């Protein structure tokens, strides 16, 4: 874990970081983002002591980095920057092997590691290791930069806007590759960007900064749903969550007070309850709010005997979703199976809401209108 405690930094009398307190969990990819001059790169560079705090302390795995040998610390931390930083007079192999050689690794171990790294970034070692950086495209060079950062198998990787200078195709490819690498290797990665789409795509957590302070440090989902500050809402874009439907959960769009009744009610009573509440369906639950079935007005009309109880006519084979299920999967099920009503359950299996076709249309159309108004 990387922990910032009461970190401040001043340049020529101007405070660029103001009492930063931040805990970056081990094995997570954390993105630092904010407008130019917010302090995100300064924060990143403090982790490997490229910049020294004016006050405060930084701990890596509970050890104060002030007590660490700076050169040894940097060799244990991978570092990838926008300019890539490959040495032009060295081959790709020599660039990757630089730190292992300084650490006096045996040649056979270095050779094996280079081949592993080239495979990791999807480049053929026999084709590329003997080339020079200017013989590679920008995207290929940045892949080598990533490989070099992983050379010593560090627990921490720092990445300072590594993909911002690349064309969109290369950028997307490298973002996907980095995400997949992180899923496999579980490194602690601190990633600086100014691109909110990139932050959402990559980050386990996102730290939004402004004027040297942390405004919000949270998961992408929570930042999109619950921006803690007016600037955060403006910075991420008010309607950005609707561009990321996988973050929209059943609990965000469900009717939170579905009309319920018990199975001992008669059809006549059910019709009266529907009329009173202006609904055409009833959720049948027991005393503990466990869902037993559903009765619809259409189903009632099919019943000749109006004295029957709801337990005799309710539909028991019901498609349900959980509060945390996302709207993409729910919409697919509704469309594929022509479902009109989807009860929503909490993690304990209790009924907490209802999604209907009409409620979905209302939510989505309202959001569309809000989006159009924001454009005007």
- Residue 25 has a pLDDT of 93
d(CA 319, CA 360): 16
Residue whose structure tokens are 């027991």: 286
CATH fold label, 251-364: CBS-domain (3.10.580)
Give the residue ranges of the chain where pLDDT is below 50.
Answer: 368-376
Residue whose structure tokens are 């930042």: 223
The answer to whether 158 and 48 are in contact (CB under 8 A) is: yes
d(CA 307, CA 310): 9
The answer to whether 202 and 159 are in contact (CB under 8 A) is: no
CATH class of the structural domain 2-247: alpha beta
Relative to beta strand 291-296, strand 281-285 is antiparallel
- Residue 201 has a pLDDT of 85
Is there a shared CATH topology between the 2-247 domain and the 251-364 domain?
no
d(CA 223, CA 221): 6
Give percent of the chain with pLDDT exceeding 90: 38
pLDDT in tens, 223-240: 877 887 778 878 776 555
140, containing H or E segment = helix 138-149
Give 111's contacts (C-beta < 8 A, 6+ positions apart): none
The answer to whether 85 and 145 are in contact (CB under 8 A) is: yes
* DSSP reduced 3-state for 22: strand
- Residue 376 has a pLDDT of 47
What are the residue ranges spanned by the domains of the chain? Answer: 2-247, 251-364
d(CA 365, CA 328): 16
Neighbouring CB atoms inside 10 A of 114's CB total: 21
- Residue 99 has a pLDDT of 85
The Cα-based distances of 287 to 197, 263, 281 in angstroms read 46, 11, 19
Q: What are phi and psi of 294, to 5 degrees?
A: -140, 140
pLDDT in tens, 291-325: 999 998 888 888 777 778 899 999 998 889 998 88
Token pair recorded at residue 285:
């639950």
d(CA 338, CA 265): 28
Residue whose structure tokens are 């300072």: 160
Residue 344: strand pairing partners: 321, 353
d(CA 269, CA 309): 9
């Amino acid at each position: 874990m990387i922990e910032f405690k009461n970190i401040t930094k001043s340049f020529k009398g101007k405070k660029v970081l103001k009492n930063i307190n931040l805990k970056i969990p081990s094995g997570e990819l954390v993105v630092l983002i904010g407008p130019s001059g917010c302090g995100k790169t300064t924060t990143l560079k403090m982790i490997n002591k490229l910049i020294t705090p004016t006050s405060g302390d930084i701990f890596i795995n509970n050890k104060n980095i002030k007590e660490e040998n700076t050169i040894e610390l940097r060799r244990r931390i991978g570092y990838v920057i926008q300019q890539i930083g490959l040495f032009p007079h060295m081959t790709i192999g020599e660039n990757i092997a630089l730190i292992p050689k300084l650490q006096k690794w045996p040649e056979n171990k270095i050779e094996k590691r280079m081949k592993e790294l080239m495979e990791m970034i999807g480049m053929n070692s026999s084709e590329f290791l003997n080339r020079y950086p200017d013989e590679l495209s920008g995207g290929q060079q940045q892949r080598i930069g990533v490989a070099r950062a992983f050379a010593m198998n560090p627990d921490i990787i720092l990445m300072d806007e590594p993909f911002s200078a690349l064309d969109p195709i290369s950028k997307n490819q490298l973002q996907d590759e980095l995400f997949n690498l992180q899923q496999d290797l579980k490194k602690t990665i601190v990633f600086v960007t100014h691109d909110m789409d990139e932050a959402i795509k990559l980050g386990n957590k996102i730290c939004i900064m402004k004027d040297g302070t942390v405004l919000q440090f949270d998961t992408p989902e929570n930042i999109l749903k619950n921006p803690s500050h007016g600037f955060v809402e403006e910075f991420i874009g008010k309607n950005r969550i609707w561009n990321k439907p996988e973050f929209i959960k059943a609990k965000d769009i469900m009717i939170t007070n579905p009309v319920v009744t018990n199975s001992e009610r008669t059809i006549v009573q059910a019709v009266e309850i529907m009329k009173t509440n202006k609904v055409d369906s009833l959720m049948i639950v027991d005393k503990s709010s466990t869902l037993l079935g559903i009765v619809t007005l259409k189903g009632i009309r099919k019943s000749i005997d109006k004295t029957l109880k709801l337990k005799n006519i309710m539909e028991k084979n019901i498609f349900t979703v959980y509060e945390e299920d996302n709207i993409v999967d729910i919409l697919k099920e509704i469309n594929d199976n022509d479902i009109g009503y989807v009860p929503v359950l909490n993690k304990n299996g209790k009924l907490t809401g209802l999604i209907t076709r009409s409620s979905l249309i209302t939510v989505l159309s309202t959001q569309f209108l809000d989006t159009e108004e924001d454009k005007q």
